[in-house]
């Protein structure tokens, strides 16, 4: 009589080697553990650096929620939120934000995401988050026409009582 298992067929009189079965079982369990990590992602905190082309913002007593998770082995999703404190200042120039993991170099055809900002009640602003020509930072562009890179000249409210959030999923290097 022939006995067929999902991964091996034994002829009459053949027996499975217990060491081989143990190795296959261990390998399968290890694979399931790694697969489970990818299927049930854990958020990983990171410190997102908010820079400006001339003078960076001062983020005194700002509450930050900066984190990411692996979508799969080649992509991550990043969510960053800044709730500016009473003594925060906007800095001077256009803004860039650091990424937790370097993006794949796409030569100007990078990933896009979205952002929203409550400009201290003066306006709700939205736009596109873009990983453009660098693999380690992203830029935010307004959704209005003509589009402009987000910076201190775009803001109209009191920076110290504003909040900003962006989300992006991108391919990692």
Mean pLDDT of 146-159: 79
- Distance (Å, rounded) from C-alpha 99 to C-alpha 39? 22
Q: Is the pTM of this model over 0.75?
A: no
pLDDT computed for residue 8 by the predictor? 61
User: Do the beta carbons of residue 99 and residue 173 sit within 8 Å?
Assistant: no
DSSP SS3 for 35: helix
CB 43 within 8 A of CB 139: no
pLDDT band at 42 (very low <50, low <70, confident <90, very high): confident
Q: How far apart are the first and last CA of the chain?
A: 52
What mean pLDDT do residues 33-54 have? 77
Dihedral sign of CA atoms 129, 139, 79, 37 in order: positive
Which residue, among 92, 97, 99, has the nearest Cα to 139 in the 3D structure?
97
Using one digit for the tens of pLDDT, what is the confidence trace for 78-123?
999 999 888 898 889 999 999 999 888 876 667 789 999 887 777 7
Residues 6+ apart with CB under 8 A from 50: 56, 57, 59, 82, 95, 96, 97
């Amino acid at each position: 009589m022939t006995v067929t298992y999902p991964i091996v067929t034994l002829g009459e009189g053949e027996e499975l080697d217990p060491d081989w079965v143990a190795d296959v079982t261990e390998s399968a369990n290890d694979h399931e553990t790694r697969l489970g990590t990818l299927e049930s992602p854990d958020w990983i905190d990171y410190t997102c650096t908010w820079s400006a082309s001339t003078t960076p913002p001062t983020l005194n007593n700002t509450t930050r929620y900066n984190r990411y998770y692996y979508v799969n082995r080649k992509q991550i999703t990043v969510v960053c939120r800044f709730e500016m404190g009473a003594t925060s200042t906007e800095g001077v120039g256009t803004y860039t934000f650091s990424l937790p993991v370097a993006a794949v170099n796409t030569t100007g055809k990078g990933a896009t995401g979205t952002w929203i900002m409550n400009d201290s009640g003066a306006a709700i602003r939205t736009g596109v988050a873009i990983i453009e020509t660098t693999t380690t930072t992203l830029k935010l562009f307004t959704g209005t026409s003509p589009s402009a890179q987000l910076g201190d000249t775009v803001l109209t409210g009191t920076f110290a009582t504003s909040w900003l959030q962006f989300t992006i999923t991108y391919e990692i290097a």
